Chain A
Amino acid sequence: MSKEILYSLRNVSFGYTDDEVLREIDLDIYKGELIGIIGPNGAGKTTLLRILSGYLIPQRGQVIFTGRNIREYDTRSLARYIATLPQSLEIPFSYTVEEFITMGRYPHAIKDFHYGESDREFVGDVMRLMNIESLYGRKVDTLSGGERQKVFLAQSLAQDPKVLLLDEPVSHLDIKYQMITLEVLQSLHAEGLTIIMVLHDLNLASEFCSRIIFLSRGHIHTDGTPSVTLTYKNIEEVYNTVVLVRENPLSGKPFIIPISKKYLKKSQ
């Protein structure tokens, strides 16, 4: 894999001096990576994702995206490179599925005052790719949680992005839709899309991500492959929780088992 640099963060801090959410982050991200950002609540995962998306501008330090400071991009051109799916998305009106997905074509269809035939075709392709053609004509507010997540993802893919940023894309889904969603992301990654996602579930991060950025209280605790980052020592140190780390017999990836306190007392 050619290691072409995509993001380069230098000395990035966000927040106010006495209460910084992120502190002096140095980070390089390469094209085609599939990265999981993990860490306890309040570690700065969402803030880091929002900085990568260009939504938040750090107080100090620089974010270089494809060779230019991210602040030099205007909103539209950034939306043609980067698609971001926030953790929660409330939709006050009942748009149809295809209306909703078509909104993703906006950064590509600004000059004309309406969406054209090519936009409609692109939306059709995305719906086929996500296997949600059966949802055609349905209203977004009548969908189940899993269907909604697929439609949200389809909207982001309609942006034809080079980078996909996702904030906890599977945390409120059942195990079936967790697997469906993550497998779709994996196949998109195989086609060359760079994906960076915040995950809460350490085991899913371990199985699906090739690189894990482990955040703790606003700084990068460890950064590397799952077997380097997800050691019982790191996890106990950052989460202050006792775990067992085993090896998944099929994938060979680390597998984390949380240990309840009552078993600890027994063994002492």
Chain B
Amino acid sequence: MSSEANKAHKERLKKNSILVLTILLVLLIISILFSLSYGKSITHVMKSLFVDSGIDPVVRKVRLPRTLMAFFVGGSLGICGVVLQSILRNPLAEPYTLGLSGGATFGVALSATIGLERYLSLYANPLMGFMGAMASVMIIYLLTRKKFFHPNSMILFGIVVSLVFSSFVFFLFSILDPDKMQITLMWLMGDLSSLDIKLIPAYIPMFLIPAIIMLFFGRELDILSLGSEKAQYLGVNPPRMYRILFLLSSIVTGLCVSASGIIGFVGLIVPHILRNIIGAGHSSLLFASYLGGAFFLIASDVISRYILYPVELPVGVVTAMLGGFTLLIVIVRRT
């Protein structure tokens, strides 16, 4: 009797996660259309995308790259959030927990101080942001390697490294002239509009390849969340797996930061909500979080453009407000 019931239950679960993924996909498409059309009709968008870019060059030259970046950055932050929450065994971890944002901000502030854009033009901020993020990751890696990547020491070192970098940033701010400080501050709050369109073709494969690799580690993430001792008993090699996943997620987060500054809460709130809807199993959670993260960031970006029209808000402010409120509701409802 129960094996029949089991089967029925399994079917229901499968249908449930397929339903959720379909809903996410539909939401994602709607948000993409909104982001592209910006008030105009869909046929107008389609025409200017595929038939003749002359009709409305803004769609192809401004809104399309911006929407693409929101898609990849949002999806990447979603999936990296899932990976880090499992490795660190903490549902409140997010891609910036390991101090990546501090290092990236320092890189950008440094670039503004020494006027690097004179030599590197558009590449200055993305490059310095990425290098700053990687520098803090390297420091965490070297500090926690001897402790076998123990979650608590990783989080602790992450906070410390981030604080140290922040102090350097404030030091630079104090000697920086206000105009340059304003640019760095805007970048800090997350900004999808400033990335140059020429960089996008290079970014797309760099975003996609590590994310696709991470999608295949669902079963390992399930097991790693039980802690490294139990993971080893179940046949996962924790140090090796930590190294792979830590590296992949750091690179992707570093790329996100370099492309669009620090966009908070996506990697925290998206996995958190989806875990409640489709369950904790990582194989489907990874995929759903990519779609969910992409949807959340595109929608936030649309809101950031509409809400104080014609003034644009930094998208990081919108994600932080939406994410913060949602998290608050989720936590209050649970307790």
Contacts and interface: CB of A to CB of B under 8 A. Distances in A.
Given A79-B232, A137-B13, A159-B235, 19 more contacts: A55-B229, A75-B232, A75-B235, A75-B236, A75-B237, A79-B233, A86-B230, A92-B225, A95-B279, A96-B13, A96-B279, A103-B219, A103-B222, A103-B223, A104-B234, A106-B235, A120-B10, A133-B3, A136-B2
A134 interface: yes
B47 interface: no
A19 interface: no
Interface in B192-216: 216
Interface residues of A, number: 39
Interface residues of B, number: 32
Contacts of B223: 103, 106
B225 A93 contact: yes
Nearest to A77: B235
B2 A134 contact: yes
30 contacts: A55-B229, A55-B232, A74-B237, A75-B236, A76-B235, A78-B235, A79-B232, A79-B235, A86-B230, A90-B89, A90-B226, A90-B227, A91-B225, A92-B85, A92-B225, A93-B91, A94-B280, A95-B279, A96-B279, A96-B280, A99-B279, A99-B281, A103-B219, A104-B234, A106-B223, A133-B2, A134-B2, A136-B2, A136-B5, A136-B9
Nearest to B151: A92
Interface string A86-125: 1001111111101100011011001001110000100010
Nearest to A140: B280
Nearest to B275: A93
Contacts, number: 94
B90 A110 contact: no
A110 B89 contact: no
B215 to A, nearest CB: 9
Contacts of A110: 235
B156 to A, nearest CB: 17
A7 B3 CA distance: 38
Contact of B216 (A93, A107, A113, A124): A113
Contacts of B2: 133-134, 136
A149 to B, nearest CB: 14
Contacts of B233: 53, 55, 79, 82-86
A80 interface: yes
A92 B91 contact: yes
B6 interface: yes
B219 A106 contact: yes
B283 interface: yes
A95 B226 CA distance: 11
Contacts of B279: 94-96, 99
Interface of A: 53, 55, 74-76, 78-80, 82-86, 89-96, 98-99, 103-104, 106-107, 110, 113-115, 120, 124, 133-134, 136-137, 155, 159
A94 B272 CA distance: 12
In the A-B complex, list the 5 residue pairs whose CB atoms are closest, starting with the nearest: A79-B235, A107-B235, A93-B280, A133-B2, A84-B233
Nearest to A113: B216
A99 B222 contact: yes
A82 B13 CA distance: 32
A89 B230 contact: yes
Given A92-B91, A113-B216, A136 B6 contact: yes
A106 B275 contact: no
Nearest to B239: A75
Contacts of B10: 98, 120
Interface in B214-253: 216, 219, 222-223, 225-227, 229-230, 232-237
Contacts of B275: 93-94
A101 to B, nearest CB: 11
A91 to B, nearest CB: 6
B232 to A, nearest CB: 6
A103 B5 CA distance: 21
Nearest to A104: B234
Nearest to B220: A106
Interface string B266-300: 00000000010001110100000000000000000
A240 B229 CA distance: 33
A42 B235 CA distance: 28
A99 B6 contact: no
A80 B234 CA distance: 8
Contacts of B89: 90, 92
Contact of A86 (B13, B219, B225, B229): B229
A17 B275 CA distance: 48
A89 B234 contact: no
Given A113-B216, A114-B219, A133 B234 contact: no
A76 B220 CA distance: 12
A140 to B, nearest CB: 9
A249 B293 CA distance: 66
A124 B3 contact: yes
A123 B118 CA distance: 63
